Every structure is written in C-alpha cells, then in structure tokens.
Structure 1
Amino acid sequence: MRYVTPLDASSLASSFLPELLTQARRRIPTLQRSSPAFFLVPLLVSTTLGHAHQWVPHIYAFATSELPSPPSAVAASPPLPKDETNPHRLVVRYMKEALTKSSCVIGAPRAFEALLELDKVVPVEAKDDSFVRDELDRSRSNRERAEIGMKGISTVYQKDIVGIFNTMDPYLKDIRWFAQNITYGTYLVPHADKTPDTSPDPFDQDSTLLSILTLSTIVPQRTPREILWHLRGAIRRGIPREQVRSLHEEIEVVCRACGVDNVREGILTVDDVDKQAEKP
C-alpha cells in the first residue's frame, strides 16, 4: 500500500487516512479485546512527527465511529477509569493520557498542540475533567515518587536498569534523577504502586499500553539504544515477540504516511532482543 505525504488536510479525510486507520484496527496487535491501541499508535506517531493538527480530528472521529451515542446528560468524569460508563469519554481519557505521557518523550510543545486540537473536536458530552495526577499534587512526597518511578522502570528494564544507572552515575546524575522521578514517577507510571482497580491512570487497565506508547514515540525519532531497550521491555511487559514485531512494523507504516520513509533502516529489531527477555 502506498501513502502520500499528508500535506493537504482535505486529502486526509477523503483518501488514505480512513483506510490507514481501518487497517491499523486490523493489524495492530492487542492482548485485550477492547484495547485502544489501534487509535493510540496513529495518534502518537503523527504527534511525534508534527502532524497532530491534521491527524487528531480524524483519529478521534474514527476511534468513536462505532460507539453508541454518548449520553446527553453531562456528568463529571468518575475518578477511576474502570467506573467510566461513557465510551466516548473513555476514548478521550486514553487519548489525553497518551499525549500527556508522550510530552516527556517528544517534547511538551507537540503534545500540547495535539491536546488543544483534541479539545477542539470533542463534544461537550464527551469532555473529560479527570485529574490523573491529583494525588501526586496533594500528597506524594519526593521519596514516594522516586519509589514509584523505580517500580515502573523495573517492569521495562528489570535487572538491566542497574547497569544503565551505573553508566549515568559519574556524569549524568541529573538525567538519572529525571528518569526515575519525572519521566517514570510523574509522567509514565505515576500510580505504579496501585492496582488497575484503584488507579486513576487509564493506562493501568492494560499493561501493554506503556510499551505501545514508548515505541510509538521513540521509533519515529530513530534512537537506537532506547528502541532496543523498549522492544525488550515490551516483551518483558507481556507482549509476545511476534506481536512486538507487528507493532514495530505498523509504526513504520504510520511514519511513512507522515512522510518519513525507512524509519527502521539500520535500527535493531525484535530479532536482536535476546531470548532471556521472555523469561520472568
């Protein structure tokens, strides 16, 4: 399948983007039947590559196209995603949290741009006013945040994090602190100490989503070390090796649709991840 570089907004709606999203729904591997991965991958890749203003409205429309109409009565979002009864608002919760998390990987300006574009197209009855990090704002100490961050990091890196942090210790102490306390402890896994039933983070409902997010934002940036680490981390977080391969390939498809060819050229793949990564 050949895609054109998406420079004309009208071509997005009328030609390749609906087809790409339809194919993504079929191809993107998921372990949960109701997984939002099929719309999160295009959302995150297109935002990473600077196309949020063109893609976000179409992605939201596609993600909600097969849902029943939202309730007409507008109610406050429940604190916990598991209690959300409005499927349109649940889509918004996933998209908002994906973009919020991504800002620490791709930069705040692009994530913020995408969030503003999303807010423009979400109808009032699907608006989400939840505050995922409210507890961190009110009661979490720096020590607790560091512990939460380390717990989240360990699900991706396991014992390898010791060597990575040892490499950082002599000259990159600020980066190590930022990775543990901010990247993971605040952005990516702010509630790693909670169960899915008690976490306000919708990503905690599906353990595969963190890896889907990190790969969808790192692969387009062609950062070899991080890509290998997170391919391995995806396996460690429970995604079968073949599904990780399919995810990596689909990210490349979306990159091509954004005008970036050969994003995997010269970059390690899941075949380069040692088999030990699949052991607990």
Structure 2
Amino acid sequence: MADIATPEFLNELKSLYPATANYVDGAWFLAAGIAFSSSNYPEGISRILRYALEDLDKCPGTSDEDRRLLVRKMRDGIFKSGLITGIPKVINALVSLYQATPEVLRDTEPLRDSSRSREEVSAAGQAFFDSTYGDTAGKVQSLLKTIYPDLEHFTIKLTYGYVCALSEVTSAKETSFALISSLIANDTPRQAEWHLRGALRNGATLEETRAVREIALRIAIKAGVPLNHEVPNI
C-alpha cells in the first residue's frame, strides 16, 4: 500500500478536530491512530506519534510527563479498540507505536490494577456501560444476554469493567472516541451509532464527536477499507 500517512494528510486530520488549550486533550491523534490500526495500516501510527510529539514540543512548557501522557493515551486507546478490531491488529499497532516511542516515554508496568476484586471490576463495568448507553442500557444489555449470556457477562465484566472503565489515562469520552474510530473502520454502523451517542453521554461535544467520525471515515476511505454500509451521523 502506498504511504497514506503523509504530513499533508495528518495536517488535514488534525484540522478537523476543535482546537484545545492543552494539546494532549486534543483527541485527533487518538482517533487517527486507532482508525489507522483498525484499517490495518499500522505504519500510520508511528507517523502520527512522531508528528504529535513534534507538535507538542512546540508548546511552551512541555514536559516529559506531557509527552508520556500523549503516548499513554495512544497506547491505551489502541488497547481498548482491540475489543472491536481484534488482538492481531492491536499487536501490530502497538509494535508500530513502541518502535516510534522514545525509550524514556515507554511504560514497563501495567496501568490496570490486577488486584481489584471481581465485584469492583463488575461494578465499574456496569457503571461505564450505563453511562455510555444511558436510557438504552437496559435494552442493549438484555439483547446481549438474550443472544448469548456469556457475551453479556464478558461485555460488562471484562470489556467494560476491566478494559474500558479505566479513565485515568483515556477519559470516558476518549474511550468512546476509540470505539467510534474502530467501529467505523470495521464497517459496523449499528454499533457506531450507539457509540456516537455514547460519546455525548460521556462528556464529548457534538463538534468533537463529529470530528472523530470524520477523521475515522477519511482514514478508512484512504486506506481502501470497503464500506458496504452508510456511516451514521449525529
């Protein structure tokens, strides 16, 4: 595949997301990295990271903690997106990210606390699921339990409880953005619509949510992803 993650294209993607006072709060690089991963173009992730770190270094007072947070957001967002795209794409994406990450910014310990009880994890998962789905949470959870009880158990306790509920690095709205980007590139409009609305419930603005949708869509098209269904809007 030709190199699609050109500086010109990255400039275009960045311009779609509303400007923020703090560069690391601008989720364009998170949405773009996940869309490249989901579109099976992991090479784009290393280019985004280098581009974003160079951008960040232009901001006065930038510290290694700022740089580390940017890398962590991309890493954790890609990890969360694996629930949609699958582990093979996540491995390829994280390898690309790791290779482009300066050694001083690499983490060596897990972000998640493996000592939490099952009850704590389950409660966190239910809370984040309810926050994301709002007044449709009961209906969606009932659907999952009806079509396969194991799916409902896995979704609440592991997908939402262990993976998605962690918000210290990627916030609730950024987690929604990660899911939106991966769903669009996977041509799953029903679930994309769920999470477009979920992003608003999790604190995103309409402008931010539409920007993430557009970033993911442009990358998917550029990467040649066959989109057989219309991508929902909001």
Q: Normalization by structure 2: what TM-score?
A: 0.88
1:118–1:241 CA distance, 2 compared to 1 (3 A): closer
Distance of aligned partners of 1:33 and 1:117 in 2 relative to their CA distance in 1, 3 Å threshold: same
Does the Cα contact within 8 Å between 1:41 and 1:212 map onto a contact in 2? yes
Pair 1:57-2:16 in alignment: no
Separation of aligned partners in 1, 2:137 and 2:198: 11
Contact 1:157–1:229, Cα closer than 8 Å, also in 2? yes
| Residue in structure 1 matching 2:133, options 157, 160, 184 | 157
Q: How many corresponding residue pairs?
A: 229
Task: Quote the residue 2:72 is aligned against.
Answer: 93
Name 1:226's counterpart in structure 2: 191
1:91 maps to amino acid: L
Aligned-partner Cα distance in 1 for 2:207–2:36: 24
> In 2, distance between residues paired with 1:240 and 1:254?
22
Unaligned runs of 5+ in 2: none
Report whether the alignment pairs 1:266 with 2:230.
yes
Cα offset for 1:36? Answer: 4.1
Of 64, 71, 89, 1:110 maps to: 89
- TM-aligned CA deviation for residue 245 of structure 1: 2.6
Q: Secondary structure at the match of 1:65?
A: helix
Query: Structure 2: how far apart are the matches of 1:176 and 1:32?
Result: 39
**1:170 alignment partner, SS class:** helix
Do the aligned partners of 1:29 and 1:247 also contact (CA within 8 Å) in 2?
no
Tell whether the 8 Å contact from 1:228 to 1:268 is kept in structure 2 after alignment. yes
**C-alpha distance in 2 between matches for 1:248 and 1:33:** 21
TM-score calculated relative to the size of structure 1? 0.74
| Counterpart for residue 278 of structure 1 | none
Q: Give the number of the structure whose alpha-carbon radius of gyration is greater.
A: 1
| Greater RCO, CA 8 A, separation 6+ | 2
Aligned partners of 1:228 and 1:122: how far apart in 2? Answer: 33
Q: Which runs of 5+ in 1 are unaligned?
A: 1-6, 70-83, 192-200, 271-280
Offset, 1:178: 0.7
Does the alignment pair 1:202 with 2:169? yes
Matches within 5 A, 1:99-178: 99-133=78-112, 135=113, 137-138=114-115, 140-178=116-154
Q: Secondary structure at the match of 2:108?
A: coil
Residue 66 of structure 1: aligned partner: 55
In structure 2, the partner of 1:235 is 200
Q: 1:93 to 1:168 in 2, by over 3 A?
A: closer
Q: Could you tell me which residue of structure 2 aligns to residue 19 of structure 1? A: 8
Tell me the SS of whatever aligns to 2:146. Answer: coil
Q: Is the 8 A contact 2:32 2:215 kept in 1?
A: no
Q: 1:106 to 1:25 in 2, by over 3 A?
A: same
Q: CA RMSD in A?
A: 2.3
What percentage of aligned pairs have identical amino acids? 23
- CA distance in 2: counterparts of 1:48 and 1:107, whole angstroms: 9
The secondary structure found in structure 2 opposite 1:46 is: helix
Deviations 1:159-201 (A, max 9, x none): 211111222333410110011011110111136xxxxxxxxx3
